Structure 1
Amino acid sequence: MNKGILYAVLSYLAWGFLPLYWRLFTAIPAWEILAHRIAWSFVFVAVLVTVSKQWKRLKSVGSSRRGLIAVVLCSILISSNWFLFIWAVNNNHVIETSLGYYMNPLISVLFAVVFLKERLSPGQWLSIVLAGVGVLIMALQYGQIPWVAISLAVTFSLYGLAKKIANLDVLLGLTGETIIALPAAAAYLIYVQSHGAGIFASLAPVSVVLLLLAGVATATPLFLFAKAMQLLPYSLVGFIQYIAPTTSLLLAIFLFNEPFSQIELLSFSFIWLALIIYSFVTFRKSKAGVIPVRQMDVQKNAIACNK
């Protein structure tokens, strides 16, 4: 349990502080950063697959039509999510990215109801309604729909849904996703460099090294998250995940000096209330589910002793 909590906290802290990393490359267009992120993520996971000697197992990821479609879909969704996040951070929309990742678990719940036919309690439905009110308030305050936040939440929720349905190995699935996105990323980098529009060649050596570490910055939190999922109840991981958007929100307000009005505070208050209710209800449901299992174990032990 302690190891699982440590893995979960480290993964979400890494995601929460990621805006600090991408802010180092404000001079580079978002498309070019995305291409580098894909390319160096592939290099990093390729090293891990080589060390773990799993290249032969990688063939199984695309051996079935369902698995291949899932990997392609995951690659498109996570690449879109990465681009939106990078663009938002480098264009002073960090608060919106925070809102998006606060919304993410609730949208994932809606997808679970629609696509996986899972049932919700009245308290969980109430949390979704409250979150919707929070988003509506921010939309009215902006004068437009907060499309960055909604797009981030929807793309990542769809990504998680596709991963859930496909049930792929974490490392092999991520490797397959980067392999699919790699040709487009490599072609784009070659094109911009050959036409003199690429920024990479003009970067200082320190910036080049930092950009090469994009693969590590991308893949490491994913592996920590996967490890936490193996060791912790899902409800506990779901509660810990709010570390990431909270960290990003604090960075946006106190470090990046993004404006945070009273209307935005009201909007976030609805989101926070929704998350508190949802987490409380989910924790009670998971706790109630443990009690019958323990009672069955006691009964089995008693029967065994009588025998």
Structure 2
Amino acid sequence: MRDSVAAARERTLGGIYAFSAYLLWGFLPLYFLLLAPTGPWEIVAWRILLSLGFCALLLTATRTWPRLVAIFRQPRVLGLTVIAGLTIYVNWQVFIYGALSGHVIETSLGYFINPIATVLLAVLVLRERLRPTQWVAIGIAAAAVAVIVIGYGAFPWIALTLAASFGIYGLVKKKVGPSVDAVSGLTLETLWLSPIAVVVLIVVGMTEGLTFGAAGWPHAVLLSLAGIVTAIPLLLFAAGARRVSLTTIGLLQFVAPILQFLVGWLLLGEPMPLERWIGFGLVWVALSVLTVDSLLHARRTRAAG
């Protein structure tokens, strides 16, 4: 009895952690907009370096440096963290560019498409066989992209790049598995990206000029929080994912793009012409098909077990 109560409490706590992570990710575009006049290249560079510094403090506070050192004795795992770092860099750069250039709604489309991109990657990379319903969901999503391209007259490259990069990032993290904890993983990913960040800051400093410290102390404080703003949702997500089922995570993952969509549409006033509503509607239908299929498949698997 006591064990079941403890397990239920852990699941509840995990749900709260995961929901909090997606809630923070949903409002992330507003934080980046507050960093004006800092451009997307400088923001990502500081985000990398400050995240690395914050992770180093966490490793010191929790005395978990030995975990990080142990990963260096696993060349395969170390190589995968390099790939993870490069893919998350692409994701961060495109996301912040979208947020600062008036394309928050399109960034939300990217994360709506992400579950479908993940299923497609499972076929292309892992050679998994899809159920017919999953193929239907992919077909509907492809039709949605076609509607947006033809009707709206613009190729949604921001959305597709976000979906592809985060899908590949998730695939790499799955390959890494539990051998790398959340803090060590983010530490390594930002460590590999640090040379890129330094070069970017040098180039920005020589061309446009760095804004850190040049736009007043409130701006400097906000920009200095980039590392914490990056790390906290990732750590909350990792804590939640360990405690709840994949089905729960799958349902909660729609919280972030829904909030981003509402922020772009209602708060920032980005346009939503009929063609976009039709395209988004088709994506939501595809996600509904995929979600129902996943729930039914999980129920059949439990029943068979």
TM > 0.5 between the two?
yes
Match of 1:113 in 2: 123
What is the aligned partner in structure 2 of residue 2 from structure 1? 12
Which of residues 10, 13, 25 in structure 2 aligns to 1:15?
25
Query: How many Å apart are 1:196 and its aligned residue?
Result: 7.3
- Tell me what 1:146 maps to: 156
1:237 matches 2:222: no
Give how far 1:113 is off: 2.1
Q: Is the 8 A contact 1:61 1:173 kept in 2?
A: no
Task: Give 1:180 shift.
Answer: 0.9
Partner in structure 1 of residue 54 of structure 2:
44
Cα gap change, 1:28 to 1:287, in 2 (>3 Å): same
- 1:114 Cα deviation after fit: 2.1
Whether the aligned pair in 2 keeps the contact of 1:61 and 1:176 (CA below 8 Å) is no
Which residue does the alignment assign to 1:300? none
Farther-moved stretch of structure 1 (264-273 vs 179-188) = 179-188
Q: For 2:106, what is the secondary structure of its paired residue?
A: helix
Deviation at 1:204, TM superposition (A): 1.4
**Which has the larger displacement, 51-60 or 262-271?**
51-60
Verify: 1:78 aligned to 2:88, yes or no: yes
Q: Secondary structure at the match of 2:38?
A: coil
Q: Deviations over 1:266-298 (max 9, x none)?
A: 0011100111111111011111222233xxxxx
* Partner Cα distance (1:84, 1:199) in 2: 20
Distance 2:87 2:160 in 1: 14
Match status 1:129 vs 2:139 = yes
Letter in 2 for 1:197: G
- More displaced stretch, 22-31 vs 32-41: 22-31
8 Å Cα contact 2:50-2:226 kept in structure 1: yes
Partner AA of 1:87 in structure 2: Y
Give 3-state SS (helix, strand or coil) of 2:54's partner.
helix
Q: Is 1:189 paired with 2:189?
A: no
Consecutive unaligned residues in structure 2, runs of 5 or more: 1-10
Between the aligned partners of 1:52 and 1:194, the Cα distance in structure 2 is 39
> In structure 1, how many angstroms separate the alpha carbons of the residues matched to 2:276 and 2:200?
38
Distance (Å, rounded) in 1 between the aligned partners of 2:248 and 2:222: 33
CA distance in 1, matches of 2:229, 2:168: 22
Residue 190 of structure 1 deviates from its aligned partner by 4.6
Q: Whole-Å Cα distance in 2 between the matches of residues 243 and 219 of structure 1?
A: 19
Larger Rg: 1
Regions of 4+ moved over 3 Å: 190-196
Q: What letter matches 2:122 in structure 1?
A: A
The RMSD of aligned alpha carbons is 1.5
1:97 counterpart = 2:107: yes
1:15-51 Cα distance to aligned partner (Å, 9 max, x none): 1100110011231121101101001111111111111
Cα-to-partner distance string for 1:48-94 (whole Å, 9 max, x where unaligned)? 11112121221232323322221111111111110101111000011
TM-score, normalised by the number of residues in structure 1: 0.91
Number of the residue aligned with 1:302: none
- Deviations along 1:152-210, whole A, 9 cap, x unmatched? 11011111111111223222111101111112213433554467711113121111111
Between 1:28-37 and 1:115-124, the stretch displaced more is 115-124
Q: What letter corresponds to residue 189 of structure 1 in structure 2?
A: L
Q: Summarize deviations over 1:72-131 as a string: whole Å, max 9, x none.
A: 111111111101011110000111101000001110111112222333221111111111
Residue 133 of structure 1 aligns to a residue in which SS? helix
- Helix, strand or coil at the partner of 2:277: helix
Give the letter aligned to residue 297 of structure 2.
K
In structure 2, the CA distance between the partners of 1:195 and 1:135, relative to structure 1 (3 Å rule), is closer
The one-letter code of the counterpart of 2:133 is G
Between the aligned partners of 1:48 and 1:157, the Cα distance in structure 2 is 27
Paired amino acid for 2:70: S
What residue ranges of structure 1 are gaps of 5+ in the alignment?
Answer: 294-307
The residue type paired with residue 15 of structure 1 is W
